[in-house]
Amino acid sequence: MAESYLPILMLMLFAIGIAGAMILLSAVLGPRLRTRRKLDTYESGMPLLDASRKRVSIQFFLIAMVFILFDVEIAFLYPWALVFRSGGAPLFGEMVVFLLVLGVGYAYLWKNKAFDW
Amino acid sequence: MSASDVGMLALRVLAPVLVILIVLPMLQWVERRGAGLIQDRPGPNRVGPFGLLQPLADVVKFFMKEDLIPSHADRFLYVLAPGLATFAALTTFAVIPYGATLNIRGNPVPLVGADVSIGILYLFAVTSLSVYGIVLAGWSSNNKFSLIGGIRSSAQIISYELAMTTAAAGVILAAGSFRLTDVVAMQSGSWLSLPYRGWTVVPQLLGFVVFFVSAFAETNRLPFDLPEAEAELVAGYHTEYSAMKFAMFYMAEYINVVVASALMVTLYFGGWSFPGFHPTSLGGVVLSVLIFAVKTAFFVWIFMWVRWTLPRFRYDQLMRLGWKALLPLALLNLFWVAGLVLWNAL
């Protein structure tokens, strides 16, 4: 059983090796002609205008929260989809009820313009 | 388990990834020549015949360029981010079946890296990791363009992930399994029988369209490449990157395009199978691998075709499409599939 995951481990080690080798080679092979200006933060060739770590729109946090809610819903959908064939009609009804409850929340978010930027 | 068994396992999982890594620079060439074709200009044609050696020259150049770390950057995360993006892209292919079952001295060897029972779950889990590479790159660069690109990307990817995974739930429902070899087996039967055993795209066209659109958003490709919208954000999350670290983000993007294409082929277009084709001999198995490669290459080309044909979406349009259109459509598709299964049509 755990044996079937061995190839995934191999591939992960391989991927770490490739990624590590690329980062290392790139750092070693290139020239090193550093100046203070060159290491500055990029601002289209102008002196830096303002701070880099500014506040971002609250909308992004809202989207992240809504995502957590809906992702949990999908976590329920997957096992349901897996056993649906053996369950049949009663399972269908249960999912309709579950998604109706979820749909009320979805309609609330829609009405409150959570999806409008 | 003997040493030859371990070698066989390694070969099965590494072979497709090595092929992708070798073909990757060529994809760059195909994309640029294709762009030339679509925009009525030659494209790269100076290095080697038809510019075929251009990707090689590019790789050498990427390695030989100065590798800068901006003085204000968070050094550890700045170096880690491209590695993480590449790692997440490279490890996804492990569970996708790329050929029929091979018979070696009476032992059936399915041509898939790891035939695990949670194939689809593993795939979505690892694909989600790629967002960390982008967000960390955006944050650690300490540049406002990078930061906005990284934040935009994370919001976009999580929004479309919902639609994508819900659409894929339809396929899981039809197959009754997370195992991708089962998904392919389900699609390699007759198209005329009841229950239907042909390619999933026919009964689940709606699900496929949702999955297809989401795949473009998940891989940050045009028309959804808002994270790197060059007109507003310079280059987005990789503004501060140079040399091979910069190229690694592109590499990860191309691998993600190949994996997304392979996944679409596996979930909706029968994987390596073809109607009326049931490989038993070695030649048949080789043919099945070729069928899979051709189908995947077709979708990779569609990714490029779309990139040079459609304009970029606005961010509010992107979010509206994901939440107000694709998510309800994906749920509708799920109910449709559940109905079909109940009526014994699937």
Residue B24 maps to a domain:
no
Is B130 an 8 Å CB contact of chain A?
no
Q: Where are the domains of chain A?
A: 2-111
Q: Count of domains in chain B?
A: 1
Quick: pLDDT tens for B170-212: 899 888 888 888 888 888 877 787 788 888 888 889 999 999 9
Residue B290 belongs to some domain of the structure: yes
Contacts of the segment B155-158: beta carbons below 8 A, 24+ positions apart = B155/A60, B155/A63, B155/A64, B155/B319, B156/B217, B156/B220, B156/B224, B156/B226, B156/B227, B156/B318, B156/B319, B156/B322, B157/B128, B157/B130, B157/B131, B157/B217, B157/B218, B157/B220, B158/A63, B158/A64, B158/A67, B158/A71, B158/B131
Q: B164: which chain A residues are within 8 Å (Cβ-Cβ)?
A: none
ipTM exceeding the 0.95 mark: no
The 10s digit of each residue's pLDDT in A52-99 is: 777 778 888 888 888 888 888 888 888 888 888 887 788 888 888 988
Domain that residue B174 falls in: 67-342
What is the structure's pLDDT at B69? Answer: 83
Q: Is the pLDDT of residue B316 over 70?
A: yes
Question: Hey, are the CB atoms on A14 and B331 less than 8 Å from each other?
Answer: no
Does the pLDDT value for residue B35 go beyond 80?
yes
In DSSP notation, B136-169 reads HHHHHTT-HHHHHHHHHHHHHHHHHHHHHHHHHH
Query: Is residue B57 included in any domain, yes or no?
Result: no
Burial B53-73 (b: 16+ CB within 10 A, else e): ebbeebbeebbebebbbbebb
**pLDDT at residue B41 is higher than 80:** yes
Q: What mean pLDDT, rounded, does chain B reach? A: 85
Do the beta carbons of residue B198 and residue B187 sit within 8 Å?
Answer: yes
The reported pLDDT for the residue numbered A17 is 92
Binned at pLDDT 50, 70 and 90, residue B107 comes out as confident
pLDDT of B1 over the 70 cut? no
Residue A95 with chain B: CB contacts under 8 Å: 338
Distance CA B47, CA A91 (A): 61
Determine the Cα–Cα distance for residues A22 and B174; give it in Å rounded to an integer: 42
User: For position A1, what pLDDT does the model report?
Assistant: 61
pLDDT of res. B300: 92
Distance from CA of A107 to the nearest CA of B (A): 10
The span from the CA of A90 to the CA of A6, in Å, is 39
- Joined together, the tokens standing for residue A39 give 């290491």
* Residue among B186, B203, B198, B196 at smallest CA distance from B276: B198
Cβ–Cβ gap B9/A36 under 8 Å: no
Q: Residue A71's closest chain B neighbor by CA? A: B162
Q: Is residue B126 part of a domain?
A: yes
Q: How far apart are CA B206 and CA B268, in angstroms?
A: 11
Per the model's pLDDT, the better-predicted residue between A96 and B227 turns out to be: A96
How far is it, in rounded angstroms, from Cα B16 to Cα A7? 13
Give the pLDDT band (50/70/90) at residue B299: very high
Q: Which chain B residues contact residue A84 at CB under 8 A? A: 173, 176, 338, 341
Percentage of chain B beyond pLDDT 70 is 98
Distance in Å, alpha carbon of A108 to nearest chain B alpha carbon: 13
Helix H or strand E encompassing B107: strand B107-110
Report pLDDT for B264: 92
| Partner B contacted by A20 (CB < 8 A) | yes
Under 8 Å between Cβ of B148 and B260: no
| B38 close contact with A: CB closer than 8 A | no
> Is B211 within 8 Å of B264 (Cβ atoms)?
yes
Considering the domain A2-111, what is its CATH architecture? Up-down Bundle (1.20)
The region of weakest confidence among A12-26, B28-42, B156-170, B276-290 is B276-290
What pLDDT does B227 receive? 66
Are residues B158 and A67, on separate chains, in Cβ contact within 8 Å?
yes
Which residue do the tokens 């073909």 mark? Answer: B23
| B40 is a domain residue | no
